[in-house]
Structures are given as C-alpha cells and as structure tokens.
C-alpha cells in the first residue's frame, strides 16, 4: 500500500501541474466570465494538490501493522485512494456545470476524512500501555 500511495501522490502532483497549465491556457473560455465557475475550478484544482500531498505523506511514512490496527490502516488507505479518484472525477465534471452543489467532492472529502481518521486511530503510540 505504501508504494501505491507514493506513486499516486507523485501522479496527483503531476496532474495538478497539468491541470494548472490547462487552466492557464484555456481558462477564460472554460469559465465563460462566470466567477462562480472560476472558483469551482480553482478549488477543485487545489484539492488535487491537497490529495497528492496526502498520498505522498502516506507513501513516505506508512508502516505495516498487524491485527485490527493493520485492517484499520488498510481500510483507511482504501478510503484515501477512493477519495483521490473521486476528486479527479470531480475536477473534470463538477466545475463546468456551474452548480455550487458538489455531488462528487463531498463524498470524496468524507472518504479522505474517514481514511485519515482510520490512520490516526491505527497508529501505535510510543510509551502507551497496551
């Protein structure tokens, strides 16, 4: 799982750079002068960087755990991966609609929240009594 997070993290940072170049080249036509659509694109764009860094951190520091903590950690990683792919889908589908309701971004953020919490609760505390 560690390698998957690391590779996906680098891929997301590259996707962030690519979407940034796309926005730089085509942005005026993409948001058609509507500042609401412009802000939706920009926030979705930043979410890609956010999730790229999150995956890089997990890929760098993730350690194996056994038993319940290992299962919780794996579930957390799967939730983070799901949130990552949902945010990619959200970038390419949600902003152009101009609708403020984010039907893909909200579940993606929920996946990320639950995934990170699973990692936090699966962490072995140094010096803690067992």
- pLDDT, tens digit (0-9, with 9 covering 90-100), for 9-26: 999 999 999 999 988 887
- What is the rounded distance in angstroms from the CA atom of residue 111 to the CA atom of residue 9? 16
- What is the rounded distance in angstroms from the CA atom of residue 26 to the CA atom of residue 52? 23
Q: For the chain, what percent of residues have pLDDT higher than 90?
A: 65
* Burial track 6-23 (b if 16+ CB lie within 10 A, e otherwise): bebbeebbebbeebeeeb
What is the pLDDT confidence band of residue 3, given thresholds at 50, 70 and 90?
A: very high
What are the boundaries of each domain within the chain? 2-121
The pLDDT value recorded for residue 100 is 79
Angle between helices 35-61 and 67-93 (to 10 degrees): 150
For the residues 62-81, what does the mean pLDDT come to? 93
For the residues 68-86, what does the mean pLDDT come to? 96
pLDDT in tens, 57-71: 999 998 888 899 999
The pLDDT value recorded for residue 99 is 74
Q: What angle do CA 102, 105, 111 make, to 5 degrees?
A: 140
Q: pTM for the full model?
A: 0.88
């Amino acid at each position: 799982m560690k390698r998957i997070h690391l590779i996906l993290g680098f891929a997301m940072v590259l996707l962030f750079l690519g979407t940034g170049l796309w926005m730089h080249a085509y942005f005026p036509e993409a948001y058609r002068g509507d500042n609401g659509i412009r802000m939706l694109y920009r926030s979705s764009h930043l979410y890609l960087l956010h999730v790229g860094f999150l995956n890089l951190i997990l890929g760098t520091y993730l350690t194996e755990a056994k038993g319940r903590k290992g299962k919780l950690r794996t579930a957390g990683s799967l939730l983070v991966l799901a949130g990552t792919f949902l945010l990619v889908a959200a970038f390419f589908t949600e902003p152009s609609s101009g609708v403020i309701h984010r039907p893909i971004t909200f579940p993606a953020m929920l996946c990320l929240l639950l995934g990170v919490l699973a990692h936090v609760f699966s962490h072995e505390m140094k010096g803690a009594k067992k």
